[in-house]
Amino acid sequence: AQKITQTQPGMFVQEKEAVTLDCTYDTSDPSYGLFWYKQPSSGEMIFLIYQGSYDQQNATEGRYSLNFQKARKSANLVISASQLGDSAMYFCAMRDFNSGGSNYKLTFGKGTLLTVNP
C-alpha cells in the first residue's frame, strides 16, 4: 500500500524567504507520480507541481520546485521568495499507477499549514 508522510503540521516563513515543505513516500511500485497541491482557506485544491518517478530532472513551476530524492523516497516542495498569498495548507500526494494508465487515484498526506509572516 502507498503511504505519504508529511511530518511538519505547521511551518512559518518570513515574506521573501524560501521555505521547504517535507514529503516522504512509500511504495513498492517502480512507476509513480508525486504531486503537490495548495489549499487556501477558501477550500479549493490548486495543483502546483508534478514529478514522475522516471523524470531525470527535478520539476519546476515558477516559484515552486520539487526536490526529488528517489533513493531517500522524498519529494520536498521548495517555495522561493514567499508571498503573503502563499499562506495555505499544502498537500503532497502520490498517484497509483497500478490502477491504470490514466486513473488518478491519489493518496494524500496530512498536509502542512504554511504561514507567511510580513
Residues near another protein, by CB under 8 A: 33, 35, 37, 42-47, 50, 52, 91, 93, 99-100, 102-111
CA distance readout (Å), 118 to 57, 60, 79, 82: 33, 25, 16, 10
Q: What HEC string does 48-88 produce?
A: EEEEECCCCCCCEECCEEEEEECCCCEEEEEECCCCHHHCE
The smaller minimum CB distance to another protein, of residues 12 and 104, is found at 104
Q: CB of 113: closest distance to another protein in angstroms?
A: 11
Task: Using the minimum distance from each CB to another protein, give the nearer residue, 11 or 113.
Answer: 113
CA dihedral for 34, 39, 43, 44, sign (positive or negative):
negative
For another protein, the closer CB: 56 or 118: 56
Least distance in Å: CB of 45 to another protein?
A: 4
Pairing of strands 10-14, 112-117: parallel
Residue 11 or 106 having the CB closest to another protein: 106
Q: How far is the CB of 42 from another protein (least distance, A)?
A: 7
What is the smallest separation between the CB atom of 47 and another protein, expressed in angstroms? 5
